[in-house]
Amino acid sequence: MERMSEPRRFIQVLYGPRQSGKTTLAHQVMADLEIPSHYASADEPTLKDRTWIEQQWEVARLKVESEKNSLFVMDEAQKIDGWSETVKRLWDGDTAKGLSLHVMLLGSSPLLVQRGLTESLAGRFEVIPVTHWSFGEMREAFDWGLDEYIFFGGYPGGADLVNDQKRWSNYIRDALIETTISRDILLMTRVDKPALLRRLFELGCSYSGQILSYQKMLGQLQDAGNTTTLAHYLNLIEGAGLLAGLSKYAGQRVRQRASSPKLLVLNTALMTAQSQLSLGEAKQDTEFWGRLVESAIGAALMNGLRGENIELFYWSSRNREVDFVLSRGKSLVALEVKSGRRKVTLPGIEAFSKEFRVEKKLLVGAQGIPVEEFLLTPPPKWLS
Lowest mean pLDDT among 134-148, 170-184, 343-357: 343-357
Q: How many CB atoms within 10 Å of residue 29?
A: 15
pLDDT tens-place string over residues 90-105: 999 998 888 889 999 9
Arithmetic mean of pLDDT, 225-238: 90
Which of 78-82, 113-117, 244-248, 288-292 has the weakest average pLDDT?
A: 113-117
- Alpha carbon distance 320, 67 (integer Å): 64
Q: CA 63 → CA 57, 101, 174, distances in Å?
A: 10, 9, 38
pLDDT number for residue 247: 94
Which DSSP category does 171 fall into?
Answer: I
More confident call, 355 vs 1: 355
Tell me: pLDDT of 124 over 70.
yes
Alpha helices in the chain (DSSP H): 22-32, 50-62, 83-97, 110-120, 135-142, 146-152, 165-170, 179, 194-206, 214-221, 227-239, 253-258, 269-272, 279-284, 286-304, 349-355, 371-376
User: Could you report the per-residue pLDDT of 148-201, keeping only the tens digit for each?
Assistant: 999 999 999 999 999 999 999 999 999 999 999 988 888 778 899 999 999 999
Phi, psi (deg, nearest 5) at residue 216: -65, -35
* CATH 3.40.50.300 correct for 11-129: yes
Q: What average pLDDT score do residues 277-288 get?
A: 94
**DSSP one-letter string for 100-166:** -EEEEEEES-HHHHHHHHHHH-TTSEEEEE--SPPHHHHHHHH---HHHHHHHTT-GGGGGGTTSHH
* pLDDT confidence tier of residue 5, bands split at 50, 70 and 90: very low
- State the Cα angle at 175 between 169 and 180, rounded to 5°: 115
Amino acid 25 reads L
Residue 94 near residue 58 (C-beta atoms within 8 A): no
Pairing of the two strands 262-265 and 243-246: antiparallel
pLDDT tens readout for residues 306-344:
888 899 999 999 889 999 999 998 899 999 999 877 776
Local confidence band at 219 (pLDDT 50, 70, 90 cut-offs)? confident
Which pLDDT value is given to residue 283?
A: 94
Distance, in Å, from the CA atom of 272 to the CA atom of 153, rounded to the nearest integer, reads: 9
Q: What is the pTM of this model?
A: 0.86
Q: How many other C-beta atoms lie within 10 A of the C-beta of residue 78?
A: 27
Own/partner pairs, 366-370, CB within 8 angstroms, 24+ separation: 366/338, 368/336, 368/338
> Considering the chain, what is the average pLDDT of its residues?
88
CATH 3.40.50.300 domain span(s) along the chain: 11-129
d(CA 290, CA 312): 21
Among 140, 139, 145, 142, which Cα is nearest to 158's?
Answer: 142
Distance, in Å, from the CA atom of 378 to the CA atom of 69, rounded to the nearest integer, reads: 34
Query: Is pLDDT at 134 greater than 50 in this prediction?
Result: yes
